Amino acid sequence: MPKVVKVKTGNKFEEHGSYSRLVAVDNMIFVSNTAGRNPRTKEIPEDLAEQTNQVLDNISAALASVDAKLEDVVSARVYVQFPEHIDVIMETYGKRMRGINPALTMTCPSLGSETYKVEIDVVAIRGVSGADAEELMVSL
């Protein structure tokens, strides 16, 4: 029987929408779409880079709660509210994820509020950061 851990943060939307911030099934970890609200101040930075970094900080904290880390991420989806913000958000995301290099999907849907400039969800596998990784270059 697999071990399942469901992590909640106390956010009212988790209760309202009946979801968990993170679900770990054995070593496979799914982190819900995460915004850039600072959990201590409850504020969302207006600056695109700051908001993107706060999203990744929030994801890192969620992963740490189940003994995983950002380097264990194998797949990410980045949701950008406004297409004109893609370059700054992608550059900021790239700085944090360089060397991790997960599979990535980036899209520009409407988000819950225009305050949210970026949201990210990830899939991680606990411990994969310690694995030997082979990088292949292919022409598609």
Taking residues 10-16, what's their average pLDDT? 86
DSSP string, 35-76: ----TTT----SSHHHHHHHHHHHHHHHHHTTT--GGGEEEE
Domain boundaries, the chain: 4-130
Residue 13 has pLDDT above 90, yes or no: no
Could you give the maximum distance between any two Cα atoms of the chain, in Å? 47
pLDDT tens, residue by residue, 22-67: 999 999 999 999 999 999 999 999 999 999 999 999 999 999 999 9
pLDDT tens, residue by residue, 98-124: 999 999 999 999 998 999 999 999 999
Sheet hosting strand 73-80, strand order edge to edge: 4-7, 22-25, 28-34, 118-125, 73-80, 103-107
CATH topology for the 4-130 domain: 60s Ribosomal Protein L30; Chain: A; (3.30.1330)
Taking residues 2-14, what's their average pLDDT? 91
Which residues on adjacent β-strands are paired with residue 69? none
CA distance 96 to 90: 10
